[in-house]
Amino acid sequence: KYVCQLKGFDLLPGDIDLYDEFLVSQLLHKTALQKGDTDFEQVWNVFEKQLICKVLEPIEKDYDFIILDCAPGYNLITRSALLASNFYLIPAKPEPLSLIGIQLLERRIHKLKETHKTDAAEVELEMLGIAFSLSGNNILTGRYYGQVMKRLNEDFSEAKLYKTRIPSDVNVSKAIDSFSPVVLTNPGTAGSKAFAMLAQETLQKLSVLTRTDQTLQKKMSLAALD
């Protein structure tokens, strides 16, 4: 059965227990001791790199895109998801604390890539961009908005900052109750149109970064939302 009756769109839900690194650590430590492997750090790194990759391996060729929505924390699942990905997108609010969080995440991702780099190959992981959601009508003219955007433009190229902004829209929250994306339940709202534009911009960025065929961009049209 297709999710939301949308053919070609499959959803695999997560579980809060997946993020219990203590239990995973205990299991790995026990397994390592049984195998006589005393380099637990190496055992952990191998597991971290292979965890999501092994889950996706049987089905990755069946999809044009696989999107991994990670919890806002730098845990095992997030790190493994990053290592299994070609690109990552950072959702954020144009606020000072978000700027600090983005900088911290970038440092951690750099360290992650260095940790898993081998003599044969480097970790091929690139930032696709930073997409902003707006929490209020006055945020664009707010006290810190200009400062934050100026700093982000200094730290990252303009191409890394999404032009599309996701507005505050109560219809997005209401769509959760219907277990269906807002672009299907209420396609004419500001939030729906913004998400569709964000998807279009994502396809354009992927087209540039991977030099894929332009037909990929035609898979999602905004015509129905006009």
Residue-wise pLDDT for 53-65, tens only, equals 998 999 989 888 9
Domain endpoint, select from 110, 134, 164: 164
16 and 84 share one domain: yes
* Angle value at C-alpha 90, between 87 and 94, nearest 5 degrees: 150
For 221, the domain range is 169-226
Whether 61 and 173 share a structural domain: no
Using pLDDT thresholds of 50, 70 and 90, give the confidence band for residue 129.
very high
The residues near 21 (Cβ < 8 Å, ≥ 6 apart) are 75, 76
Last residue of a domain, one of 148, 164, 180: 164
Q: CA 182 to CA 173: how far, in whole Å?
A: 8
The answer on 46 and 85 residing in a single domain is yes
In this structure, are 101 and 44 located in the same domain? yes
Q: Is residue 126 over pLDDT 90?
A: yes
Q: What is the mean pLDDT of the chain?
A: 82
Whole-number pLDDT of residue 223: 47
Our count of domains for the chain comes to: 2
Give the phi and the psi of residue 129 in degrees, each rounded to 5: 165, 175
* Domain stop point among 164, 189, 208: 164
Do both 95 and 186 map to the same domain?
A: no
17 vs 80, higher pLDDT: 80
Do residues 35 and 137 both lie within one domain? Answer: yes
Cα 23 to Cα 8: distance, rounded to the nearest angstrom: 35
Q: Could you tell me the pTM of the whole model?
A: 0.81
Same domain assignment for residues 56 and 142: yes
What's the CATH number where 104 sits?
3.40.50.300
60: Cα within 13 Å, side-chain hemisphere:
10
Burial label, 173 (beta-carbon count in 10 A; 0-12, 13-18, 19+): exposed
